[in-house]
Amino acid sequence: MSGKINPAPFLEINPAPFLEPAGAVEEIVVTGTRLAAPPGSLPGAGTVLDREAIEARGDSGVADLLRAVPGLHVVQPGAGGVSQLFMRGSEPNFTVFLVDGIKVNDPSNSRGGSFDFASLNLADLDRVEIVRGPESSIYGSDGLAGVINFISPAGGGPLAAAVEGEAGADDYRRASLQLSGPAGDGGFSLQATSRNDGEAVPGSTYEADSISGRLRLQPASGVTANLYGRYADTESTSFPEQSGGPRLAVLRSLDQASAEDYALGGDFDWQLDQSWSIQARASHYGRDSRYDSPGIYPGDQVPPNGAHNELRREQAALQATLAASAGSATLAATAGADFQGESGDSDGYVDFGPMRIPNSFALDRDTIGLFVEGRLQAGDRWLLQVSLRRDDPDGFAGETTGRLGASYSPNAGRTRLRADWGSGFKLPSFFALGSPLVGEPGLRPEKSRGAELGITQQLGRVGEATLTLFDYEFEDLIDLDPATFRNVNRDRVSSRGAELGATLLLAPALTLGAHATWTDIDVAGSDRELLQRPEWRGGLSARWLPAADWSVDLDWLYVGDSLDNSIPTGELRLGAWQRVDLNLAWAVTPRLRLALAVDNLLDASYEEAIGFPAAGIRPRLAARYRFGD
């Protein structure tokens, strides 16, 4: 997936001049493939939320931004609660998370390698790219359900700066600074943000400070190099998960958590001639996190516990790419090798009253991968894409994964039919393998395979509609066996469903969008229902431009009922809920922009997790001023 794709409900809009530096170079960033491609041409289902869409929605955090994407379900019980993303009904740790292409999943945490994206600040992002479906043939381990890439601004153009401040109810506040400009024949960008989410939900707080930047250089003809860097420092509090939250928890003490994340990476592209090029990339990611939990009453189920975790990951890759054409047919192919080295250390404990039991481990593993990918484009009708990968991880048998897809357009792009099949795997997390209390060294990798069919139809010159059907199977899922209190491979889960998205230009100043997702999840050989997976979800959006300098965006989200569990109550079904969000923006001058966002405009009352009430109505006022050309 590459370029700008704007499926519903993320609408094409005309950005005000202050949204990005004048003269900025539009670059193509590839997610879910190693080969650049025209927008919208690839077989798999993909979504790109560009800066225009992010500005239009006016969300306070990444969780709210992702809620309206077809196939994604996000649960975040309060700002300080851990954010979880379920892609097409899969587990939260089955999605590869990238920041500027650098993998940030954490296999040392007790959640099996997920990523808490609450640490990301929307003000620091240029776009978010999302690919659904198994992606291990591109990214190796963890790519069971899809990949999400959070991308910072590329920079370039004349030297410019922007400052932004935002304040709202419940002590919400945010301050951001952005710089961008030229660097020789390339460019740079730098972003710094400090955010305090306040306390919209009792006991739930979150503070995040971050700085990130990119540098793009063109030292010689045909040579492009990029450098990326990011540092984030976060602190949070929340009632423990499954405690019953502020409404039901017997113990009123809070979880305390903090983390430092840092990433440094670079890539290099050398165009040797019209047909051949060489690409290389390398990165380092580190995370240092701590948490302490008071436990959940009755304490024999979840006693007080905590840990200090450290993760280090190095990645490097080298590949050669061929691009050739004959008549109306074009061929692109690439092959190469990559290396990933991971080490995780955890100094943990579980407190059983008079006895404090250590729950510590230290593990590391290296993985070498070989890959090949090819794409054949036959005129403007047919496209065939295939990728194949072999991973050789320490301590496990080798894994071979692949993806095969095709698309066909009978009428110059007005209709596009596509089909896609893929397989994926995920190595057991360090915690699942090494925890002295629940770990099991003999665990097998989790695996997935499945297919999707889709059609995209242009609605004349006023809109577009996309329908995708998917069917996936996950096997050897890792779960805790209550009889032995050890991790085991046991579940096989199927997930099938449909995703629908549409946009419609009703008038020059009024655009509507719609999205809906239906997911049917089945645990083989059991009538057990997985938690926090609604069968239905969807929404509507409207963008109205009443005047040249004004915009009004209204979004309605519906989430169906789902099963949840807490220790005070056991399993309960949470009712369906809906909310409306408003964003009103005024470009006072080409440099100054004011915006009023109202979260949960109708003050809807609902719970995403048992005992954790959603935040009520919350207005936020933001001002942004741009310096420079």
Q: pLDDT of 23-64, one tens digit each? A: 333 445 468 889 877 656 778 888 889 999 999 999 999 999
Helix (H, G, I), strand (E, B) or coil at 21: coil
Residue 386 has pLDDT above 50, yes or no: yes
CA distance 129 to 148: 6
Question: What amino acid occupies position 25?
Answer: V
CATH class of 17-628: mainly beta
Residue 21 has pLDDT above 70, yes or no: no
Of residues 169 and 1, more confidence is placed in 169
Give the closest residue to 436 by CA, choosing from 376, 361, 365. Answer: 361
Residue pair 537/517 in contact by the 8 Å Cβ criterion: yes
Q: CA Rg, the chain, in Å?
A: 24
Q: What is the pLDDT of residues 111-137, one digit of tens each?
A: 888 888 888 999 899 999 999 999 999
Q: What is the pLDDT of residue 116?
A: 85
CA distance 458 to 283: 40
Q: What is the mean pLDDT of the chain?
A: 91
Q: What is the pLDDT of residue 481?
A: 83
The two structure tokens encoding residue 424 = 């994926």
Q: Which residues have C-beta within 8 Å of that of residue 65, sequence separation ≥ 6?
A: 49, 54, 57, 59, 122, 128
CA distance 128 to 51: 9
Indicate the pTM of the whole model: 0.93
Residue that is written with structure tokens 């516990």 in the block: 305
pLDDT band at 298 (very low <50, low <70, confident <90, very high): confident
Residue 106 has pLDDT above 90, yes or no: yes
Q: What is the pLDDT of residue 566?
A: 94
| Strand 305-326 relative to strand 223-238, pairing | unpaired
Helix (H, G, I), strand (E, B) or coil at 66: helix
CA distance 460 to 590: 33
Q: What is the pLDDT of residue 328?
A: 87
Give the closest residue to 419 by CA, choosing from 14, 37, 133. Answer: 133
Of residues 23 and 372, more confidence is placed in 372
Domain limits, the chain: 17-628
Q: What is the pLDDT of residue 420?
A: 96
Q: What is the pLDDT of residue 28?
A: 56
Report the DSSP beta bridge partners of residue 408.
Answer: 382, 417
CA distance 582 to 541: 10
Q: What is the pLDDT of residue 214?
A: 95
Residues 95, 101, 103: CA angle, nearest 5 degrees:
50
